[in-house]
Structures are given as structure tokens and as C-alpha cells.
Structure 1
Amino acid sequence: MQALEGVKVLDLGRALAGPMCGLMLADLGADVIKIEPPGLGDDSREWPPMVNGESTYFMSVNRNKRSIVLDLTTAEGKEVMLRMAETADVLVENYRSDVMDRLGLGYEVLRKVNPRLIYCALTGFGRTGPRRNKPATDVYAQAFAGIMGLTGEVDGGPLRVGVSMADMTTGLFGAYGVLAALQARHLTGRGQLVDTSLMEGQVAFLSYHITAYHATGKVPQSQGAGHPSIVPYGAFRCSDGWVAMATFNDRLWQRAAVGLGLRELAENPRFLTISQRLANREEFLDIVNARFLTKTVDEWVAIMEDLDVPLAPVNKLDKLLADPQISDREMLQTFHHPAAGEVQTFGFPVKFSETPCEFRRPPPMLGQHTGEVLREYGFDASHTGVQA
């Protein structure tokens, strides 16, 4: 058994935020039907790199789903969609907030068809407010919501986080909201609208920065790999690469100082506490940075592990995926795809003792399951609204 076994999900997501939400539910056992428009389908099917015509980007977030093609602008496509919604538990979409309403398939319409339906809408800014119909992408959200304003070197320009964090966290928050709504429905018998956005997820991630700004009135600035409240904390260059170290209390710094051979620095009254080290950050880090340059990454890792100091190599992807912890935690999964062949992607990041996740299906080809799904709902396999 899986946690969401028996739950039916209609996934109208495209690109990343919506598909990520659907993926989380699919991995937990839900029957997720990915509904794609005719032509190219999900936008991300065209995003390189490609393997035998299949996008690795698309394949990374669409496993465990079935794909059907429907033209929701036609009467036939709407008819199929409405019938599917009658028995669905969840619908996920990440269009602008007015698109589904204009199609005649918005929340108010579908809740009348199925009062138990949980309708999860992922947008750029939410379904209310002056920006509700504005377009937004991952980099737009990172910029607008302040993440890029905090990311980058102290004296450099803003940087986008190296993964599509706004999209992916929105998908995660959406799945979190769906699970809460399923529990609420268990108590009340009623579905509801789950409404979250790229902006809101990024603002939530500002967390302690918001609280500190309210308390001090100081606008937080980019710290590079450093931390505004803790030092030493961040990335340090070694003789052959980089490490990251987090001495988030004075006891850890005392141990790190032993490993660095800087006992005298740890005993200096100007650097005894976190507050004192912050007050003298530049002078302090000049000494620490110079010491890290004297050894290799592996040497520092070995020294600090012996002292139980949290210090890690700054890994590139190839080295990370070769680490035995990754395989032990099943964080790499391999599928056989009918066109792309062997496909490798990330595993589910939560483990369950009683309802483990299963990787049942490879990412679907466009419309691969159209006939199969339509027959399940009593339609002829050609009843899609798509012109031949």
C-alpha cells in the first residue's frame, strides 16, 4: 500500500511548478493523469538537452503519471474534462489565475460538478491582489520576492539560485496544501481551493531576514556564501577546491579553531563570541581564509570530521552522485523510457516505514495513455476535441 493509493489527480501543470506538485502526489501513490494540450504538449517537452527527441527536463518531474491529450477549447475536450472532474479527488494547474475561468473550467464551475474536489492553483502572485494576472517565471519570482537581492558576492551583482527554486518550492507548497486539504475533507466531506504562488513561497523563505529587518530597520545585503548572523559560516577556498563550514555556536568554533591550528585566535577576547566575531568579521575572516589555503579539501574534511565540526566539500554533481550516501538513501532512480532508454532522476526525499514510495511508471510520451484513460471514463478513444 502507498499513502495516496486510490487518490485520483488531474494534473494540468506545465513546465515545472505544476508538474513538481503532481510528481510529489504521484510518488506517494496517487493515480495522476497528466492532461496536455494538442501539438507540443507540456512546454518543457521542448527544452534541451534531448535524448532521442525526449526532454531530460520534462522527464525529471513527470514519472509515475499517465499522459492524455485534450483540447480544452473544444466542446468535446470540455466534456471529457468535466466527466473526469466528477470523480477526481484533486486538480492541479499552474496557469495564470484567469485562464481556467475563461475556458469554463475554473474552480467555481468544477466545485459544482464535484463538491469534494480539491482544486490546487499555482500562480505567479496568487489569485487575489493587484498582480494576480501578471506573468511570472522562476527568475522573475526570485528577483521580485527578494531572493536574488540576497544572493551573490558582497560587492557583485545579484545571482539567480542555481536551481529553479521558486518553481520547485511552489510545487512542494502546493503538494503540502493538497495533503492538508485531503485531511480536512476527511473531516468535513468538502473539497476546497488551495491557492499558492511563486511569490509567496519565496517570501516565506525570507523567514529570519524579515524578522531581523522589522527589529533593526536594516535592509539585508548579499553575503556571498556567508551568513548575516554567524561567523565563520560559509565557503572557504582550499589549495585545490572549496569547502563549506558551519560553526553556528561558540563550542563549534572552539573545536574548529583546534583543527585550523588557530587556538590563539579562539582565545582572543575580540573573537570569543559570535557577536564579537561579527563585529570584527573582516579581520577575523582574513586569518581564517589564509589558513584554509594551506591544505587540500580532503585534508580539511578529514581533520574536521575527527573533531565533529560540520564541514563539507563543495561538490559538483558528478562527485555528489558517486557518494555512497546517495545510493544508500535511494536518491537516484533509474527508469527505462520507450524512446530515451535508460533515464536517471532523483528519488523521493522522504522515506516511509509502512507506505513506501514506488516508481511505477517512466515519464510518459505525449498522449501515451489517451485511449486508455478515455475508455476508463466511457469515451471513445478519439473523443479528445483534437482535430485529426
Structure 2
Amino acid sequence: MRPLDGIRVLDLSRVYAAPAGSMLLADLGAEVIRIEHPDGSDSMRDWGPFVNDQSTYYLCANRNKKSIVLNLKKQEDKEKFLSFVADADVVLENFKTGDMARMGLSYEVLKKVNPRIIYCAVTGFGQTGPLANEPGFDPVIQAMSGLMDVTGDAEGEATKVGVPISDILTSNYVAIGILAALRLRDQTNVGQFIDLALLDVQLSSLANVSSAYLNAHFVSKRLGNKHNNVAPYQVFPCADGPLMFCIGTDAQFKKFCHMIGRKEWAEDPRFKTNTLRKQNEQELTELLQEITVSKSRDEWLSLLQQHKIPGGRVNTIEEALEQPQVKARNLIGELEHPVYGKVKFVKNPLQHSSLNISYDQAPPLLGEHTSEYLNSLKV
């Protein structure tokens, strides 16, 4: 038995943020049915690179789901959709604000069909405010949220994160929000509307950066691989490449000084506390760079591990996915599709003693399960 066995999700969403959220629910046992336009409405299917004519981008967000096609602008298909709603638990969509209402399928309409329905709408800016009707893509959200302004080299331009981080974070909130609504429904027997905005999510994820401004009027700066509040906490060059060192406390710094043969630095008035190290960070960085290049990354990692000081190689994607820790955790999964073959993926990171996450369904072809579901309708 899985946590969400018996929960049916009607997923009208496209691209990444919402589909990745419904995939998390599918991993937990929910029956997730993708509902797409017969001509294909998910541009992610068209983004390369491809394997056996399937987009690897699409593959990363749609395992464990089924797919049917309906044209919700046609009355016949709209009635079929409402029949599905009557027996569903969740409707998930990421159309522009107001699009579902214009099709006569707003939350107010759906809850008359099924008062227990949980309706999650994902947009760039939410259902209210001056930008409610504007489209919001991940890079736009990274820019508007201030995230780009604190990312990149100090002397370089504002830089987006290398993955669609606003979408990824929002996908987690899709799952969290729906799980919370399901739990509340257990107590009240009624559903609810979830208004989830990418900008809201990214702002809430600014963490210490937003707290520093709101409470101390401190505006964080772009520092490359350094930290706004801690030192030394950055990438240093080694004999064979870069390594991330994270010395987060004064106690760790003292151990670090002993490790590198500079134990006097632990009492040096320039470096004794984290506040002093931040004030003298440039000098400390230059001194450390002369030392770190004397050993290879593996040599330093061995020493860091002996002294319980955090550090890690700056890996390429290939190195990251092939490293022994990933293999030991059995993080790479594989599914077989009867048409396009084998699909490899990074597994759900949840590892409970009895959560029973399973991977049963490769990402579906457009409309692959239409006949199966339409034949089951009682209309």
C-alpha cells in the first residue's frame, strides 16, 4: 500500500512546475491522468535533446502518469471532463489566470460537480494583483524575485541558476499544498482552491537573503561562490581542479587551521571569529589559495573528512551522476516503454522505511490511455 493509493489527480498542466508536482504525487501512489489537447498542448514535448523521438525534458517530469486527450473548448469533451471531475480528488492546471473560467470550468463550477474537489492553479503571479494576467516563466521569475541579482560573479552580470529553480521549488509546493488540502478534507469533507504563484514561491525561498533585508536593511550582494555571511565558505583551487570548502563555525575554522598547518590563525585578530573573517575575507582568501593548490581535491577531501569539515568536489553533471554515493543510494531508476524503449531517471529522494514508492509507468505518449479512460466513463 502507498500513501496516496485511491487518490485521482486530473492534471491539465504543461511544461515543468505543475507537472513535476503531480509526478511527486504519482510517485506516492496517486493515479495521475494527464489531460491534453488532441494537437498536443505541452511545449515541453518539443524541447530536445530527444531519445527515440521523445523529449528528455518531458521525460523528467511525467513518470507514473497516464495520458488522455480532450478538447475542453468542445461541449462534448467538456462534459466528459466533468464526468471525470465527479470521481476525482484533485484538479491541477497552470493556464493563464481566467482561462478555465472562460471555458466554463472554474473552481466554482467544478465544486458544484464535486464539493470535495481540490483545485490547484499554478501561475506566474497568482490570481490577484496587477500582474495576475501576465505570463511568468522561470527565468522571468528568477529575475523579478531578486534571485539573479545575488547569483553570479561579483564583477559579472546577474545570472540565473543553471536549472529552472523557480519551477522546481514550485513543484514541491504543488505537492505540499495538495497533500495539506487532502488532509484538511479528511477533517472537513470539503475541497478547496489553491492559488500558487511562482513569484510567491521564489520570494519565500530567498531565505536568509530576504531576512537580512527585512530585518536589518542589509542588501545582499552578488559574491560568486562566496557567502554573504560566512567565511571561508567558497570554492578554492586545488592542484587538479576546484573544491568547495564550507567552514561554517569558529570551531570548524580552528580545526581547519590545524589541518592546514596554520593553527596560529585560529587566534589571529583578523580571523578569530566569523565576523572578523568576513571583514578580512579577501586577505584570508588569498592566503588560503596559496595553500589549497598544493594538494589534489581527493587529498583535501580525505583531510576534510578526517576532521569532519564539510567540503566537496565541483563535479560536472557526468561526475555528479556517476559518483559512488549516488550508486550507493541507488538513485538512478529505469523504466521501459513499449514504444520508445528504456528511460533512465533520478528517483524520488524520499526514502522511508515503508513508504513503498514504486515506478510503474514510463512517461506516456500523447493520448496513450484515452480509450482506456473514455470507455470507463458512465455518460
TM-score, normalised with respect to structure 1: 0.95
Equivalent in the alignment of 2:314: 314
Equivalent in the alignment of 1:384: none
Equivalent in the alignment of 1:383: none
Residues in 2 aligned to 1:111 and 1:40: alpha-carbon distance in whole angstroms: 27
1:215, CA displacement in angstroms? 2.9
1:174 aligns with 2:147: no
1:260 aligns with 2:251: no
Residues in 1 aligned to 2:128 and 2:216: alpha-carbon distance in whole angstroms: 31
Q: Is 2:36–2:42's contact at 8 Å kept on the other side of the alignment?
A: yes
Equivalent in the alignment of 1:298: 298
**How do residues 229-240 of structure 1 correspond to structure 2 at under 5 angstroms?**
229-240=229-240
1:267, CA displacement in angstroms? 2.6
1:336 aligns with 2:330: no
Residues in 2 aligned to 1:227 and 1:97: alpha-carbon distance in whole angstroms: 38
Q: Is 1:41–1:366's contact at 8 Å kept on the other side of the alignment?
A: no
Q: Is 2:335–2:360's contact at 8 Å kept on the other side of the alignment?
A: no
**The residue matched to 2:195 in structure 1 has which SS?**
strand
**The residue matched to 1:315 in structure 2 has which SS?**
coil
Q: Is 2:270–2:276's contact at 8 Å kept on the other side of the alignment?
A: yes
1:375, CA displacement in angstroms? 1.2
1:99, CA displacement in angstroms? 1.1
Residues in 2 aligned to 1:107 and 1:260: alpha-carbon distance in whole angstroms: 62
1:118, CA displacement in angstroms? 0.5
Equivalent in the alignment of 2:60: 60
Residues in 2 aligned to 1:219 and 1:322: alpha-carbon distance in whole angstroms: 38
**The residue matched to 1:271 in structure 2 has which SS?**
coil
Residues in 2 aligned to 1:378 and 1:315: alpha-carbon distance in whole angstroms: 54
1:52, CA displacement in angstroms? 1.7
1:127-160 Cα deviation digits (max 9, x unpaired): 1111111111010000001110110011110111
Residues in 2 aligned to 1:370 and 1:72: alpha-carbon distance in whole angstroms: 14
**The residue matched to 1:35 in structure 2 has which SS?**
strand
1:43, CA displacement in angstroms? 1.3
Residues in 2 aligned to 1:236 and 1:148: alpha-carbon distance in whole angstroms: 23
1:270, CA displacement in angstroms? 1.4
Q: Is 1:209–1:220's contact at 8 Å kept on the other side of the alignment?
A: yes
Residues in 2 aligned to 1:40 and 1:51: alpha-carbon distance in whole angstroms: 19
1:113 partner amino acid: V
Unaligned stretches of 5+ in structure 2? none
1:329, CA displacement in angstroms? 2.4
Shifted more, 138-147 versus 281-290: the winner is 281-290
1:374, CA displacement in angstroms? 0.8
**The residue matched to 2:234 in structure 1 has which SS?**
strand
Residues in 1 aligned to 2:215 and 2:45: alpha-carbon distance in whole angstroms: 46
Residues in 2 aligned to 1:311 and 1:61: alpha-carbon distance in whole angstroms: 31
Shifted more, 254-263 versus 51-60: the winner is 254-263
Residues in 2 aligned to 1:42 and 1:210: alpha-carbon distance in whole angstroms: 34
Residues in 2 aligned to 1:19 and 1:369: alpha-carbon distance in whole angstroms: 17
Unaligned stretches of 5+ in structure 1? 380-388
Residues in 2 aligned to 1:155 and 1:66: alpha-carbon distance in whole angstroms: 48
1:263 partner amino acid: K
Residues in 1 aligned to 2:343 and 2:261: alpha-carbon distance in whole angstroms: 47
Equivalent in the alignment of 2:12: 12
Shifted more, 193-202 versus 257-266: the winner is 257-266
**Residues 1:305 and 1:108: Cα distance change in structure 2 (over 3 Å):** same
Q: Is 1:237–1:243's contact at 8 Å kept on the other side of the alignment?
A: yes
Residues in 1 aligned to 2:214 and 2:145: alpha-carbon distance in whole angstroms: 17
Q: Is 1:92–1:121's contact at 8 Å kept on the other side of the alignment?
A: yes
Residues in 2 aligned to 1:330 and 1:114: alpha-carbon distance in whole angstroms: 41
1:153 partner amino acid: D
Residues in 1 aligned to 2:215 and 2:64: alpha-carbon distance in whole angstroms: 46
**How do residues 107-256 of structure 1 correspond to structure 2 at under 5 angstroms?**
107-256=107-256
1:202, CA displacement in angstroms? 0.6
Residues in 2 aligned to 1:155 and 1:267: alpha-carbon distance in whole angstroms: 32
1:280, CA displacement in angstroms? 0.9
1:232, CA displacement in angstroms? 0.6
Shifted more, 329-338 versus 360-369: the winner is 329-338
1:47, CA displacement in angstroms? 0.5
Equivalent in the alignment of 1:386: none
TM-score, normalised with respect to structure 2: 0.97
Q: Is 1:44–1:58's contact at 8 Å kept on the other side of the alignment?
A: yes
1:322 partner amino acid: E
State the Cα RMSD in Å.
Answer: 1.2
Residues in 2 aligned to 1:254 and 1:355: alpha-carbon distance in whole angstroms: 42
Residues in 1 aligned to 2:25 and 2:173: alpha-carbon distance in whole angstroms: 12
1:216, CA displacement in angstroms? 2.7
1:305, CA displacement in angstroms? 0.9
**The residue matched to 2:207 in structure 1 has which SS?**
helix
2:83 partner amino acid: R
Residues in 2 aligned to 1:340 and 1:261: alpha-carbon distance in whole angstroms: 57
**The residue matched to 2:130 in structure 1 has which SS?**
coil
**The residue matched to 2:120 in structure 1 has which SS?**
strand
Residues in 1 aligned to 2:338 and 2:260: alpha-carbon distance in whole angstroms: 53
1:268 partner amino acid: D
2:17 partner amino acid: A
1:41, CA displacement in angstroms? 3.7
Taking only the aligned residue pairs, the percentage that are identical comes to: 39
2:8 partner amino acid: K
Q: Is 1:21–1:92's contact at 8 Å kept on the other side of the alignment?
A: no
Equivalent in the alignment of 1:372: 372
1:172-194 Cα deviation digits (max 9, x unpaired): 11110000000000000010011
Aligned length: 379
